[in-house]
Amino acid sequence: MKRSWPILGVMLTLATLTLLMTSCGQKSSPPPPPETATQLPETAPKPQEPQQPPETIPPAVTHPEEPQPPPVPPKPRPEVKNPDTYVVVGIGDFIDTLDPAAAYDTGSGSIIFNIYETLIFFDGPHPDKFVPWLATAVPSLENGLIRDDGRTYVFPIRQGVKFHYGPVKDANGNEIPGSGVLTPEDVEYSFERGMLQDRAGGPQWLLLEPLLGVSSILDLAKQVESELHGTDPSQIKSIDDVSPEGLQEVCRRVKATVEVEDGSAVFHLKEPFAPFLQILVGTWGSIVDKEWVMTEIKEINKKAGWDGSCDTWRKFYDPPTEESELFNITNGTGPYILERWRREEEISLKIYKDYWRERPAYLNVNIKFNREWATRLLMLQNGDADAVSILPRNRDQVYPLVEQGLVTMYKDLPDQCMSFWMPNQKVNPENNPYIGSGKLDGDGIPPDFFSDEDVRKGFAYAFDWDTYITEALEGDSVQAKTIMIKEVFGYNPDVPYYSLDLEKATEHFKRAWGGQVWEKGFKLFMPHVPGGSRVALDILKANLEKINPKFKLEALEFQGTQITQDFNNDKIPFDSSGWCQDYHDPHNWAYPLLGSTGYFGRFLDIEPELQKQLDDLILQARRELDPEKRKALYYQIEQINYDHALLIPIEQGVFKRFTRSWVKGFFWNMAYVGTYYWYLWKE
Amino acid sequence: MLGFIVRRLLFLPFLWFAITFLTFLLLEPLGPYQRVALFMNVNPEQAFGGKLTKEQLQRLIEKYGLDQPAITQYIRWIKQVFQGNFGWSKVAQKPVFEAIRERLPATFELGLYAVLPVVLIAIWLGVLSAVHHNKPIDHSLRFFSITGYSLPTFVFGIFALMIFYGILGWFPPGRLSFWAERIVYDPTQFTRYTGLNTIDALLNHRWDIFVDALRHLVLPVLTLSYLSWAGLQRVTRSSMLETLRQDYITTARAKGLTERVVILKHGLRNALIPVTTIAVPTVIGLMLSGVVITETVFNYKGLGLLSVDATLQFDVPMVLGFTLIGTSLIVLTNLLVDILYVFIDPRVRYD
Amino acid sequence: MLKRLLKNPLSLTGIVLLAIFFFVALAAPWLAPPAKPCPSFVYYIVPDWILRPFMKELPCEPFRIPRDGFRATPLPPDLQAWTTFPPRLKDESGKMLHPLGTTENRYDIWYGLVWGTRTALIAGILIVGCTLLIGIILGSISGYFGGWVDSVLMRGVDFVLALPTFLMTLVILSIWGRGLDKIVLVDILFGWAGYARFVRGIILSVREREFVSGAKALGASHWHIIFRHVLPNSIYPVLILASLDIGSIVLGLSGLSFLGLGQGEDYADWGQMIAFARNRIVGVAGGDVMQYWYTWVFPGMTITLFVLAWNLLGDAVRDILDPRLRGTH
């Protein structure tokens, strides 16, 4: 046995070595002075007001059914780790692009809105109040900056705001005038560049709709072509089919929407558009430095961006995401500079020292990505991370840290998304796997099965919200009651809604299709992504079988892309879907959900008369500038949805958020796309 | 010999063509809608908050030429490859080639530390086991290697993580501590010559970073290596056993040579022949799959982790890139082994 | 051979363990009866990932683990379930009992392990059976006929052997999406080459023996010679070696489902159970690390023992089959 000792020896040396290593792993520096932390700028909210009271005793732990974790003796308060940086560990890289004109997902937005800034911004935690940001005033009818009955918006532009990169030099080494500082021309250019770029699947339709009354640049081109040459719009399939004059005209029309008038940026709307200010707060309203984007700068960008001319915009139209000149470089006016972004590894934001508000941010930001939950949890526990992504199903593992006061839990934070059952009243029967026999013979459903109001109501009364929300979603939701989330203006708190009632469901099913449904039964297939959660479907299925054993609901396993395709081909008769708002306004709920051309509305096949009524109400509400009248119109739409059970709302998310207790200054604004890090500090 | 090497190297591009063509054939039955997911930067079902409309999909299909037959798409792709463009990885959000170049050093570093000790320790233990054949040390080593061999990488890795990070806090996951990361990725403070953290740290005279990098390497290296270690030990043992029974060993012993010389000079050299031919390729194969699981468990940001993410997110170009690299690695190792073979065993010639 | 295997304590342990696993797999419907009995025994034997392409809907899915409510926190083992054997899955009041506790999302560990054994063995046997069949057919053709048939087939074998199986699995799963059916298919597609080469080698050595030349002289057809004379004399070691591969094949399968490429979260599959367990391996933060010990101890032990059993047996068998080592034990 003499020779076998070296192995043990190696192990011992390794062990001692690592013990030494742990002690030199951390660097400490004094925490930021506390007095700066309490002074918040006037434009920002007072910290006391927005901060939600941290909950120390999480409700789920005291739930009688849960196993009680053993009591743990309180540990001494640990020293603040990484005192100058806010470290987050997320699951996977969520950033699509950093070009503010192309980004349309919350992941990208959550970074962009810390780097770039918009003309106006949210007033602290209020999703529907604004403060001036890069503009010096929020336009309103009272201050006269909204003119022409809501067709013109004027934004006086702040002076002395500097972009991160600073002035740009031209080829001869001379500074380009206007570069590096915010000018009204930058505002004009930012919006025009965005709209003309109009990335496929990007956010620009949000701006094109109020400013030009179209949903894409291609739509505008069709309009222009048919006006110029009388071309049939269906002839124009892509931008290549547009004539040179057409291209010029499209560009001219876009450029006419945003103008500079003595120090102000002026927006000309196609027609009054009540939620216009809300749209401008989104990351698509970010302001870039015109001269910086237009110039080719060595070692910064690969190529120069659009030069602002109507001759060249075609080259910059709908580039692949990665070919946008701003895809992975940034130059904004916001409190953070992009330090580095290593895909699927980390993204780092550095404090911008020359920030225009009275103080720069307190903390640098470092977001890492790690799919392994155990690692994330341990990093939170050891204080190496200040916040980590926590899936609801693992939340119980964090509660002991909350009890020990190491981690603060913020709860009841409303989400901006909502899910609903979507009965499609007339599906495309061709090659449709979801309708079985396609007849009402107990072995399928007819394509227009859901056109019978009683069928829809039967389904609505058969779903068990309570079980679904308290058990499957661990109480992370509240029942959604109508077609919009409850925080949005225009939500009727007294709106009637459906709840589980098998008797009423039976009653409706007995009446449906003249009693044939009850007699013959049906078999309905619902799409299901392999590995996805089937809970909602299972609950509904069990209840339907309880009502009548002949009612059958089956899951059909398909890959997600297949389901998307079937959805787009109008084939899915009944499925749960969800919508997250683009901006905090009822129009962004009513139109996509119930409008005849809306994202979901176009597949509902609501009977024409009712649809026309809905469309009129939606349009009217969009134009109406008087809040009271507007509200009444949305109440009407909500009532119609309930009366006819057009969409059956399921739930609206309610977040919980966990952060190391040494991080201060957090508050929740539901319309934020992420965390606005400028407010945070550690102590 | 040269002819042999050239022939073997010519096999490589052939393999590449075959693998890529196979992949494109497999893509064919998917239909353009699904292929959008493969070629777009994001999954359409998740993209834009799931708000991709039919018209937008159509635009994307036309843009990427996805409605054309597989062969047309393949030719287009090959043309791109010859221009040095392996495609765009939506997971890495950069060209595949660049992503691989960035992640390869990490995996290489892991492999480097995992392979060398494995080979040396395993051979040593195998010899030990064979020399003490059927003695307690042989039995315990065999038992050790069999149980080691039977413990799945992911079970082992997770246990190791729990003990050494969860309870003891010694070896954190990742590649570097946060403070070190800030220095390493700051070009003004640190030059990344090779991308291998330990070596770069030495070249930059940063001992603290060297130690930190090493600390992060311990568990992944251990997890990655013990499996191959157990296998290699088994092969060495049986091969050594066989050699030791040969006549020339008996002769050598009869000549009065010391046991040490007999075993190391006459025994081991001959025993190594099957070890190199059988075991090394197996170890490389094991490591390729092991690296994927190890990197996942320890969140070690190398190629393996990237390719799992890529697989889960239908990022075909990225997985394909990783596969081509892996294939080349295997072919080249086999070639190397065959060449080494000539030196170890003078009886072998390739002509 | 069997006698020697039974005499060696290591291989005996392996055999006993394997016998237990086979028993568990066979007796799965008795050990862990599914909540909803199936109309036909077929559904107990053929997993749904094989049936799905042929049937639009399945009347029952015994391979899916029952879930106790929809919460996520694991439940500890119920000792009262063990008052009978097999353990009860429901008490008198109809409340669910969990003999080994539940894993995350409240999937029953006992049920998952028992039916997971069935999944593992079915997938393992299916893969080995199919690869072996292809390998034997192609290998014997190649070895028996020689000439250009042999060169073509062997180039094919070289090619397939040069492909990194694991990586090709990743490529194919990234195209077709996840699922055991795809993994099994890929394993078969890329697994036969080794066997083919092995069989060819044996055939080559058998081909020239007297009984083959004798049969040739008698004018027997090629197929007759291959299947009646050559194969029976050479197939035995191949069969044994191939069956020993089941252990590593199952290990590969669970590795893939651990990575999230398997059949989905409610499917009785060991890798999936480990994937759940890995979230619980640290217990609760700042508290007891062992809080959820049952979520990883049982699945981890099961899969380790399974692979161990095959390795113990395999080691002994290889030693016996390898003539060079004969007599060293």
Q: Please say whether the beta carbons of C240 and C322 come within 8 A.
A: no
Pick B16 or C232 by higher pLDDT.
B16
pLDDT at B192: 83
What whole-number distance in Å separates Cα of residue A290 and Cα of residue A157?
Answer: 15
Dmax (CA) for chain A in angstroms is: 96
* Residue B345, pLDDT above cutoff 50: yes
Q: CA of C57, closest CA in chain B: separation in Å?
A: 22
pLDDT at A498: 94
Show residues of chain B in contact with C176, CB under 8 Å.
Answer: 26
What whole-number distance in Å separates Cα of residue A590 and Cα of residue A622?
Answer: 10
Q: CA of B207, closest CA in chain C: separation in Å?
A: 32
Tell me which residue of A339, A334, A363 sits closest to A663, measured CA to CA: A363
Q: Please say whether the beta carbons of A428 and A582 come within 8 A.
A: no
How does residue A319 score in pLDDT terms, banded at 50, 70 and 90?
A: confident
User: Could C162 and B238 be called an inter-chain contact, meaning their C-beta atoms sit closer than 8 Å?
Assistant: no
Give how far Cα A4 sits from Cα of A318, A595, B132, B235, C264, Å: 67, 78, 12, 19, 45
Give how far Cα A31 sits from Cα of A37, A194, A682, Å: 11, 41, 7
What whole-number distance in Å separates Cα of residue C116 and Cα of residue C64?
Answer: 10
* B316 vs C: CB within 8 A: yes
Pick A1 or C92 by higher pLDDT.
C92
Q: Please say whether the beta carbons of A122 and A283 come within 8 A.
A: no
What whole-number distance in Å separates Cα of residue C270 and Cα of residue C277?
Answer: 10
Read off the tokens for A150. 């809501």
**Each residue's pLDDT tens digit, A439-458:** 888 888 999 999 999 999 99
Plot region of A201 (φ>0 → left; ψ -120 to 50 → alpha; else → beta): left
Provide mean pLDDT across the span A483-503: 92
Q: How many residues does chain A have?
A: 683
Q: What are phi and psi of A192, to 5 degrees?
A: -65, -40
Q: Where are the alpha helices (DSSP H) in A229-289?
A: 244-257, 276-281
Q: CA of A145, closest CA in chain B: separation in Å?
A: 33
**Each residue's pLDDT tens digit, A355-400:** 999 899 999 999 988 877 887 888 898 888 999 988 888 888 899 8
* Domains, in order of start, for chain B: 21-94 (no CATH), 103-344 (1.10.3720.10)
The DSSP result for B123-142, as a single string, is HHHHHHHHHTTTSHHHHHHH
Cis peptide preceding C86, ω within 30 of 0: yes
Show residues of chain C in contact with A399, CB under 8 Å.
Answer: 284
Residue B158's contacts (CB-CB under 8 Å, 6 or more residues apart) are: A374, B297, C274, C277, C278, C281, C296
Q: How many residues does chain B have?
A: 351
* C279 vs A: CB within 8 A: yes
Q: CA of B247, closest CA in chain A: separation in Å?
A: 27
Q: CA of A59, closest CA in chain C: separation in Å?
A: 14
Provide mean pLDDT across the span A332-356: 90
Q: What are phi and psi of A90, to 5 degrees?
A: -100, 180
Tell me which residue of B174, B198, B172, B161 sits closest to B300, measured CA to CA: B174
Selected residue of C73, C257, C265, C281 to mutate for chain A interface (largest A Cβ count, 10 A): C73
Point out the least confidently predicted range of A484-493, A659-668, B339-348, C313-322.
B339-348
How does residue B10 score in pLDDT terms, banded at 50, 70 and 90?
A: confident
Residue A585's contacts (CB-CB under 8 Å, 6 or more residues apart) are: A274, A275, A278, A488, A489, A490
* Residue C32, pLDDT above cutoff 50: yes
**Each residue's pLDDT tens digit, B230-258:** 777 877 887 888 777 777 777 777 777 77
Instruction: Report the share of chain A in percent with pLDDT over 90.
Output: 50
**Each residue's pLDDT tens digit, A162-215:** 999 999 888 888 888 888 999 999 999 999 999 999 887 788 989 999 999 988
Name the amino acid, one letter, at C225: I
Tell me which residue of B108, B29, B106, B18 sits closest to B323, measured CA to CA: B18
User: Could B162 and C303 be called an inter-chain contact, meaning their C-beta atoms sit closer than 8 Å?
Assistant: no
* B328 vs C: CB within 8 A: no
Show residues of chain B in contact with C172, CB under 8 Å.
Answer: 26
Read off the tokens for A506. 């039976």
What whole-number distance in Å separates Cα of residue B140 and Cα of residue B138?
Answer: 6
Q: Please say whether the beta carbons of A390 and A398 come within 8 A.
A: yes
pTM above 0.90, yes or no: no
Residue B186's contacts (CB-CB under 8 Å, 6 or more residues apart) are: none
User: Could B288 and C166 be called an inter-chain contact, meaning their C-beta atoms sit closer than 8 Å?
Assistant: yes
Selected residue of C48, C51, C70 to mutate for chain A interface (largest A Cβ count, 10 A): C70
Pick A291 or C178 by higher pLDDT.
A291
Mean pLDDT of all residues belonging to chain A: 83
Tell me how crowded residue A597 is: count the other CB atoms within 10 A of its CB.
Answer: 10
How does residue C233 score in pLDDT terms, banded at 50, 70 and 90?
A: low
Pairing of strands A85-90, A364-369: parallel
Half-sphere exposure of A434 (CA within 13 A, CB side): 26
Instruction: Report the share of chain A in percent with pLDDT over 70.
Output: 88
**Each residue's pLDDT tens digit, B89-120:** 777 777 788 888 888 899 889 888 887 777 78
pLDDT at A78: 60
* Residue A46, pLDDT above cutoff 60: no
pLDDT at A114: 95
pLDDT at A153: 96
Show residues of chain A in contact with C70, CB under 8 Å.
Answer: 467-468, 471-472, 535
Residue of C nearest to A523 (CA): C57
**Each residue's pLDDT tens digit, A616-659:** 999 999 999 889 999 999 999 999 999 999 999 999 988 888 99
What whole-number distance in Å separates Cα of residue A139 and Cα of residue A157?
Answer: 12
Cα dihedral B38, B39, B43, B48, rounded to 10, equals -170
DSSP state of A258: E
Environment class of residue A466 by beta-carbon count within 10 Å: exposed (0-12), middle (13-18) or buried (19+)?
exposed
Q: Please say whether the beta carbons of C85 and C98 come within 8 A.
A: no
What whole-number distance in Å separates Cα of residue A273 and Cα of residue A151?
Answer: 8
Show residues of chain A in contact with C179, CB under 8 Å.
Answer: 530
pLDDT at C117: 94
Tell me how crowded residue A626 is: count the other CB atoms within 10 A of its CB.
Answer: 10
Provide mean pLDDT across the span A582-607: 89
The position carrying tokens 């084939």 is: A571
Tell me how crowded residue C186 is: count the other CB atoms within 10 A of its CB.
Answer: 21
pLDDT at C164: 78
H helix or E strand, kind and range, residue A664: strand A663-664
Pick A46 or A593 by higher pLDDT.
A593
What whole-number distance in Å separates Cα of residue A181 and Cα of residue A166?
Answer: 7
pLDDT at B267: 76
How does residue C162 score in pLDDT terms, banded at 50, 70 and 90?
A: confident
Q: SS3 of A509, please?
A: helix
The DSSP result for B21-83, as a single string, is HHHHHHHGGGHHHHHHHHHSSS-TTTGGGGT--HHHHHHHHHHHTTTS-HHHHHHHHHHHHHT
Pick B298 or A131 by higher pLDDT.
A131
Show residues of chain C in contact with B18, CB under 8 Å.
Answer: 159
